Chains A and B, each alone.
Chain A
Amino acid sequence: MKKLFKKNDLIVIAVILAAALIMMIPGVINKENLTATVYVDGNIVKTINLEEVKNSYTFSPKSGTEICVENGAVYFSSAVCRDKLCIHSGKLNKNGQTAACLPERIVISISSGKNSPDMLTY
């Protein structure tokens, strides 16, 4: 009796199945670095891969507000709002962290595919 599959066919099938299984391992598909996303009025104005930042710099997403970007961290460095709670939020450097300037409607959010919480409750 002849075999349904030849040896080479079986190797191809095994490779395809192995590739499919690897794709299903959580984290492989969504692998990403520590990323800061800056929103103004709910719209993304900047996305920064914090692990690729070599030299610190600042930028202004809205007049009067300054955000400082460093290797692995980001924070509000200057703001026109009265309470300065956004500046007091300090450096963001972990997945799930957010800081916001509510009066100016600016949000910085940190995300990463690495093994850390999906969201914080506070």
Chain B
Amino acid sequence: MENDNKATGKKINIKALIAISVCAALIIGVCVFDFVQSRKLYSCNDIAMNTVISIKLYGPDGEKNSEAIKSEIHDIEKNLLSRYEDGSDVYRINSSEGKAVSVSPEVASIISDAIDISSDSNGMFDITVGKITELWGFGGDNPKVPSSDEINSYLPYVGSKRMKLTGNDVIPGKNQAVDLGAVGKGAACDIIRTQLEDTRTDSAIISVGGSLLLYGKRDFSIGIVNPDNDKDYMGTLKLSDTCVSTSGNYEQCFEQSGKKYHHILNASTGYPAESYLKSVTVICESGVISDALSTTCYIMGYNDSSLALLKKYKAEAVFVTNDKIVRCTDGIKDSFELSDKSFKMS
């Protein structure tokens, strides 16, 4: 009898051991599979919106999802934002000669945000500066400084207040041309985020010409480009699940008669902004807002007005001044690490 009990106890132990082992193997297998899938990186590059697109996706179906993202960005350029693509929303607005144009909800939303920020910046940032941008020819083959007469002939017509947005209908003001160059890359980030939400992507980082979408909970290290050497970075930010945009005086610039001109126009003067800044990086949940605010804060400079504007939109920023002083807003200070010691923290 005692021997029988011992034998049963042994059997139970062996059975229990097998059951525990199988369960443990299954759990570990599922965890490892899930872990490997979530870490699986697919990266690629492309050219669209006249800039470089870089995509890094973590999770399953990386190749398929990145192809869909590339295709989406080409569609955004072709159908929504391009000033030169016949049939795009922006092209139709600019050739409407004052008539109402029905645009996509995405473009209506972008214009609405841009109008708000124009108002917040007293017109220093304004998407209706398109005619003056064309005079300068930034990013084209022959950029040049326009005459003051040329600028003054269009300057009185610049102003979002003269443009009407009702629902998805846009009526541009007289002699106005819309240029969404200052918000387009951020807008693309917002649209891609919505697209990624329908996939099994764990996390992702997408660069649309330097405007970044950080998707998911993964912590990413973001290098802020060195304004004095745009192939290097001067500091890093640890961020997740947000958008990042930078505006700097090193992009799309040219020299004429020994003077350097950058592409960030103060819409209230028609000339490149002079704000004693090399660059401004803005971090915000919305790509459109981060893009618009980086331009706006660059134009406005580092002052109380810029800081109040950032606060209004729950955005954070890193300002780099001409004398290489780095100033971070309070909410981002702990995430920023200076790597180039020729810059100094404020």
Contact = CB atoms under 8 A, between A and B. Distances in A.
A90 interface: yes
Given A42-B46, A122-B248, A90 B221 contact: no
Nearest to B66: A42
B223 interface: yes
Given A39-B44, A122-B246, A109 B223 contact: no
Interface stretch (B51-59, B150-158, B162-170, B257-265): B51-59
Interface residues of A, number: 35
Q: Is the interface of B mostly helix, strand, loop or mixed?
A: strand
B50 A102 contact: yes
Contacts of A97: 231
Interface string B52-75: 101010000000000000100000
A120 B13 contact: no
B252 to A, nearest CB: 10
Contact of A42 (B17, B32, B44, B223): B44
B202 to A, nearest CB: 14
A89 interface: yes
Interface in A63-122: 82-83, 89-92, 94, 96-100, 102, 105, 107, 109, 111, 116-122
Residue of A24, A42, A90, A105 contacting most chain B CB atoms (<10 Å) = A42
Interface in B22-63: 28, 32, 35, 39, 41, 43-47, 50-52, 54, 56
B3 to A, nearest CB: 15
B223 A111 contact: no
B197 interface: no
Contacts of B51: 100, 102
Contacts of B236: 117
Interface residues of B, number: 42
Contact of A122 (B28, B35, B50, B230): B230
Chain A, interface SS category: loop
A20 B31 CA distance: 11
A31 interface: no
A22 interface: no
B251 interface: yes
A96 B223 contact: yes
B233 A117 contact: yes
Contacts of B281: 121
Contacts of B250: 122
Contacts of B35: 24
Nearest to B218: A118
Interface stretch (B88-96, B204-212, B267-275): B204-212
Contacts of A109: 43, 45, 54
A121 B225 contact: yes
A90 B223 contact: no
A105 B39 contact: no
Nearest to A95: B223
Contact of A29 (B39, B43, B47): B39
Interface string B215-247: 000001111110000111100100000001110
A94 B231 contact: yes
Given A100-B47, A121-B246, A122-B230, 11 more contacts: A39-B45, A89-B231, A96-B223, A98-B54, A109-B43, A117-B233, A118-B205, A120-B210, A120-B223, A120-B233, A122-B250
Interface of B: 13, 17, 28, 32, 35, 39, 41, 43-47, 50-52, 54, 56, 70, 141, 205, 207, 210-212, 220-225, 230-233, 236, 244-246, 248, 250-251, 281
